[in-house]
């Protein structure tokens, strides 16, 4: 028996498109969404927060890892007729630098799944208009990494970014997106994805207002995951004062989202703007894993992974096979994944996993 357990928001609206899901939380026919780690070591910026490219870290891997585009297309073909509805090209590195993206967009346009793209907003190669012409018709959501409301903050956190050019690129992308929709095509939602930290917490409400002025429909706030030692002091969760600054920013962001109107009407959808409880309050109970039995990852070497936790890529949750030697259907039904689904609540990594807590995944 299927139940409606969650939904995809429909671009340009607040409505949700229901997703069928089994009552035990497992989508039996395969993942509804797949992420391909296409080009994690390729980027034209060096953001402080990025484990691979940060000036505070060891720098990108040499030689860079790249997922074979032919393998991605073969997986899409194998998934035809399955519950697969959405495809994400790499959320690490800059996916617009991956040579297979145009072919992936064409394959999605032909086969039905929509793309979900996270980009740094520089639109390398084709420029914002060129990328919009390719991506907007086949993309459900385009997330722009956006970390400041001022040039000084944005350019400090994302080394190599030119803030005014990024703002102009957003306008250009939205113009093409709107033209595609006006001509009867689908309407790709555009979002800002923000890594909240000490350096930009004071600018978060203004980022929401900037989104509204530009016509960016959604602002998603993520907390900094201080995976590099030099980032620890920036995490707002590290002490009471930081937590208070976050809570104040949440209140001001909500007010900004309520006040600022999008050019076409409506308000910015604000996500993960959740206040932390007061000091001493019990930590919220972890929820279920948002990914197991629903989504799947293919790493740059073709390995299959059950979730985006870095430990999964390192094999610490188990070995789940490889899409170059098995089909996704076989791996989805395999013993390794079934064992993790049955036992993850007792796994030490899953017990502490931030994805199971408010703001961890959306
Ligand atoms: S590490 Fe987190 S996201 Fe991965 S399977 Fe465990 S609970 Fe789920």
pLDDT at 360: 60
pLDDT tier, 362 (very low <50, low <70, confident <90, very high otherwise): very low
Report the nearest-CA residue for atom 4 of ligand 1.
307
Give the residues surrounding ligand 1 with Cβ less than 6 Å away.
289, 291-292, 306-307, 309, 312, 344, 349-350, 353, 355-356
Q: Best of 297, 312, 348 to mutate for ligand 1, by most ligand atoms within 8 A of CB? A: 312
Q: What's the rounded mean pLDDT across residues 228-246? A: 93
**How many whole angstroms separate alpha carbon 64 and alpha carbon 300?**
10
Name the H helices within 183-229.
204-214
Whole-Å CA distances, 78 to 33, 84, 326 = 14, 10, 11
Residue 128, pLDDT > 70, answer yes
**Block residue for tokens 């997106």:** 177
Instruction: Compute φ and ψ for 81, nearest 5 degrees.
Output: 85, 0
Higher pLDDT, 78 or 3: 78
Point out the least confidently predicted range of 18-22, 72-76, 198-202, 315-319.
18-22
pLDDT at 21: 45
Contacts (Cβ under 8 Å, ≥6 apart) of 116 = 33, 86, 87, 88, 139, 140, 141, 143
pTM summary value? 0.89
Write the secondary structure of 74-130 as one string of H (helix), E (strand) and C (coil).
HHHHHCCCCCCCEEEECCCCCHHHCCCHHHHHHHHHHHCCEEEEEECCCCCCCHHHH
Count Cβ atoms below 10 Å from residue 302 Cβ, excluding itself. Answer: 19
**How many whole angstroms separate alpha carbon 312 and alpha carbon 296?**
11
pLDDT at 25: 60
Q: What is the pLDDT of residues 163-179, one digit of tens each?
A: 999 999 999 999 999 99
Burial class (CB in 10 A: 0-12, 13-18, 19+), 31: buried
Residue 2, pLDDT > 90, answer no
pLDDT at 23: 39
Q: Best of 353, 354, 360 to mutate for ligand 1, by most ligand atoms within 8 A of CB? A: 353
Higher pLDDT, 115 or 12: 115
Higher pLDDT, 103 or 62: 103
Residue 7, pLDDT > 70, answer no
Taking every pair of Cα atoms in the chain, the longest distance, rounded to a whole number of angstroms, is: 55
Point out the least confidently predicted range of 150-159, 283-292, 330-339.
283-292
Q: What's the rounded mean pLDDT across residues 104-108? A: 96
Q: What is the pLDDT of residues 11-29, one digit of tens each?
A: 333 333 334 445 356 678 9
Report the nearest-CA residue for atom 6 of ligand 1.
350
Three-state secondary-structure class, residue 350: helix
pLDDT at 318: 96
The top-scoring range by mean pLDDT among 12-21, 85-94, 321-330 is 321-330
Shortest-distance atom of ligand 1 to CA 311: 1
Shortest-distance atom of ligand 1 to CA 340: 5
pLDDT at 172: 98
Report the nearest-CA residue for atom 1 of ligand 1.
350
Instruction: Compute φ and ψ for 120, nearest 5 degrees.
Output: -85, 0
Distance 353 CA to ligand 1 centre (A): 6
Residue 279 gets the label, from left (phi > 0), alpha (psi -120 to 50) or beta, of: beta
Q: What is the pLDDT of residues 35-81, one digit of tens each?
A: 999 999 999 999 999 988 999 988 778 899 999 999 999 999 999 99
**How many whole angstroms separate alpha carbon 225 and alpha carbon 234?**
10
* Average of per-residue pLDDT values in the chain: 90
Q: What is the pLDDT of residues 261-297, one digit of tens each?
A: 999 999 999 999 999 887 777 777 889 999 999 999 9
Burial class (CB in 10 A: 0-12, 13-18, 19+), 315: exposed
Q: What's the rounded mean pLDDT across residues 234-252? A: 95
Distance 347 CA to ligand 1 centre (A): 9
**How many whole angstroms separate alpha carbon 96 and alpha carbon 131?**
8
Name the H helices within 115-239.
127-135, 151-157, 163-182, 204-214
Distance 337 CA to ligand 1 centre (A): 12
What percentage of residues in the chain have a pLDDT greater than 70? 91
pLDDT tier, 361 (very low <50, low <70, confident <90, very high otherwise): low
Instruction: Answer whether 353's CB lies under 8 Å from 306's CB.
Output: no
């Amino acid at each position: 028996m299927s139940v409606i357990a969650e939904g995809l928001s429909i671009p340009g609206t607040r409505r949700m498109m229901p997703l069928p899901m089994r009552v035990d939380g497992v989508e039996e026919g395969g993942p509804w969404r797949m992420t391909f780690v296409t080009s994690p070591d390729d980027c034209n910026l060096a953001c402080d927060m990025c484990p691979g490219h940060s000036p505070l870290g060891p720098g990108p891997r040499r030689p860079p890892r790249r997922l074979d585009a032919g393998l991605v297309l073969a997986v899409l073909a194998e998934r035809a007729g399955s519950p697969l509805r959405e495809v994400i090209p790499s959320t690490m590195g800059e996916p617009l630098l991956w040579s297979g993206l145009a072919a992936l967009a064409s394959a999605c346009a032909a086969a039905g799944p929509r793309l979900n793209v996270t980009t740094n907003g520089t639109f390398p190669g084709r420029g914002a208009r060129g990328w919009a012409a390719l991506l907007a018709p086949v993309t459900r959501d385009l997330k722009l990494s956006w970390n400041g409301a001022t040039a000084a903050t944005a350019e400090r956190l994302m080394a190599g970014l030119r803030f005014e050019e990024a703002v102009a690129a957003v306008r250009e992308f939205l113009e093409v997106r709107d033209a595609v929709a006006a001509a009867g095509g689908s309407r790709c939602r555009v979002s800002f994805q923000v890594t909240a930290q000490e350096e930009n917490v004071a600018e978060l409400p203004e980022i929401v207002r900037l989104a509204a002025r530009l016509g960016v429909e959604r602002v998603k706030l993520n907390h900094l995951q201080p995976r590099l030692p030099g980032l620890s002091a920036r995490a707002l969760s590290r002490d009471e004062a930081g937590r208070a600054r976050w809570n104040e920013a949440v209140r001001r962001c909500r007010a900004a989202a309520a006040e600022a109107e999008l050019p076409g009407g409506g308000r910015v959808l604000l996500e993960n703007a959740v206040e932390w409880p007061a000091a001493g309050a019990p930590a919220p109970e972890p929820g279920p894993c948002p990914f197991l039995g629903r989504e799947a990852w293919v790493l740059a070497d073709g390995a299959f992974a059950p979730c985006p936790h870095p430990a999964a890529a390192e094999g610490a949750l188990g070995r789940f096979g490889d899409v170059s030697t098995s089909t996704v259907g076989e791996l989805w039904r395999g013993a390794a994944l079934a064992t993790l689904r049955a036992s993850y609540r007792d796994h030490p990594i899953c017990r502490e996993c931030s994805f199971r807590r408010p703001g961890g995944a959306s």
